[in-house]
Structure 1
């Protein structure tokens, strides 16, 4: 399986997740669009790591949609916190 396939598969599993990334602070807000789970909020080192991973993926997969990359990166947090 290629990296792009993994990214798209992870994003599909996070279909009901919305991710807002603000690079100026940096912060990341991960939201369950069904309203069932609480928000996941990243700041500080976690948000900086998220940003670095996002930038690396953008460089490796420039043709993959921004939201797909964000959802892929949010998947471990979603699985770990929301189970």
Structure 2
């Protein structure tokens, strides 16, 4: 194999790797931009203190904040006005 042919193959291989690196970065940027399309619902100041067990066997009190629109067992869901998805009371 001639020296010129070997240099050409090494250059082509490096150029291919560089192109793959650019494609990988571009796909990562596009994916990162698509991931956060929907913003989470805001957290309300409402919530509760809960005694939670820790992995080492001890317990701690933790504030469990409730997100807007999500109701836990301690607060009843408000009745909806009309519609077939109305929650029976």
Shorter-chain TM-score bucket reads: under 0.3
Higher fraction of helix: 1
Structure with bigger RCO (C-alpha 8 Å, 6+ apart): 1
TM-score by length of 2: 0.22
